[in-house]
Amino acid sequence: MLKSVSGILKQCQAHSKRQIHLIPMVVEQTGRGERAYDIYSRLLKERIICLMGNINDDLSSLVVAQLLYLQSENANKPIHLYINSPGGVVTAGLAIYDTMQYVKPPIATWCVGQACSMGSLLLTAGEQGMRYSLPNARIMIHQPSGGAQGQATDIQIQAKEIVKLKEQLTNIYVKHTKQPYERLYERMERDSYMCPEEARDMGLVDHVLAHPPAPDAGIAAPTSDEEDKSDK
């Protein structure tokens, strides 16, 4: 048994090393010589955060930390949050959501690939007029799910909690989409998949972009010399 566990640990460590090697490095020339960044750190310099994969406590902690850091760097300049997520843990997603509402910089959200479940809630929680989707992305909303176990009383407590959570999440969607509560509640009864145009009609996103916007289009695309914006 110990031998098999040791083998599993070695496989996990090898997988982690392969994952690290897959992250590209960017080398820049500075007045003091060359400086190397991993690609995500380089994007963070441009105020771009990548939320990719399942939303769990680890990913949530990273995104929250980056949001707080970028606010400390500049409380006026927009932050761009790129989302490609199937969803995940509700509490981890709500930690990101609350931080997005707490920080002062306007946050532009971008859907690349998919924004499902909690991913779609974070997508629609961006600054009004600054919520984008690429043309072949998919957006999905639904009610929260849970696997209640234990004694009958425990299951009853968990059932009440998930009903409250469903109402809470629905109200968040109502706040950001301006859609009637009843319409969203009905759409969230089952997995409701949308193309970007349908998501725009539902108020989940504001723009569907296939190419970078023209400078005079009034759309805030991420740039290294983006002008500071006033406080929200």
Considering the entire predicted model, what is its pTM? 0.82
Judge whether residue 224 has pLDDT over 60. no
Q: Of these residues, 60, 85, 117, 120, which one is catalytic?
A: 117
- The Cβ of residue 196 has, within 10 Å, a number of other Cβ atoms equal to 23
- Of 142, 105, 143, 95, the C-alpha closest to 126 is 105
Mean pLDDT of the chain: 87
Q: How confident is the model at residue 130 (pLDDT cuts 50, 70, 90)?
A: very high
| Residues 131-180 pLDDT 10s | 999 999 999 999 998 777 778 888 888 889 999 999 999 999 999 999 99
Is 21 annotated in the active site?
Answer: no
> Which member of 142, 145, 176, 230 is catalytic?
142
The pLDDT of residue 67 is 99
Q: How many CB atoms lie within 10 A of CB 37?
A: 15
Residue 215 DSSP one-character state: T
What are 58-94's pLDDT values in tens digits? Answer: 999 999 999 999 999 999 999 999 999 999 999 999 9
Is 117 among the catalytic positions? yes
pLDDT tens digit string along 190-219?
999 999 999 999 999 999 999 887 765 556
Percent of the chain predicted with pLDDT > 70: 83
Domains of the chain: 33-208 (3.90.226.10)
Residue 18 and residue 13: Cα distance in Å, rounded? 9
Residue at token pair 């960044």: 37
